[in-house]
Amino acid sequence: MGMKRILLLILVIVFAACKPKSNVITTKHPGYKKSRPSVTVSPKPNTKTAPSTTTTKPLSGSSTTSYGNSKADKIIKKALSFKGTKYKYGGITKSGMDCSGLMYASYKSQDITLPRTSFEQSKKGTKISVSKVQRGDLVFFKTTNKNRISHVGLVIDNKRGEVRFIHSSSSRGVMISSLKEGYWSNTFAEARRLL
């Protein structure tokens, strides 16, 4: 009987790992403004890149929206191909995926293997300032426990100081959100560069 309770407790914790505490409303309208405080990102172009943990060439500029042939562009393109996919804990396919599964599948398309949890993914690469994020970087959040990383997203662009990222929400599946949105601004923990 004790083993069933432990298993049930583990399942409850696992299913809550990528679930936001509130219902998040994400808009497709680029002019969306939230009155709550938000993360401020410098709008000036990035002229330096953080130290790399791999031998790939630096990412292209963060102010473009066209996707070229760099590894970052290909990873983003793969992630965007999952847009609308429903949330499924532990999933890594079109039939369903969680936040870390989206990162795993997207990076795997370029032969980069990531760990399978957002917490473990947050230990990879180089920590960078949110003002320096570029397409292909990962953004991490503390959504269920303020002391531990529990959610991850992939930066798809950083334009005019707005960092947009693709992620898998337990309530809405794979979607695009902005760090300017109050919920994501308030739960943002760190950004990391893997390329």
Positions annotated as catalytic residues are 99, 151, 167
How much of the chain is in helix, strand and coil states, percent to nearest 5? 25, 20, 55
Determine whether 149 is exposed, middle or buried from the number of CB atoms within 10 Å of its CB (0-12, 13-18, 19+). Answer: buried
* 47 torsion bin: left (phi>0), alpha (psi -120 to 50), beta (else): alpha
Q: Which residue has the tokens 């432990």?
A: 6
Rounded Cα–Cα distance for residues 26 and 98 (Å)? 18
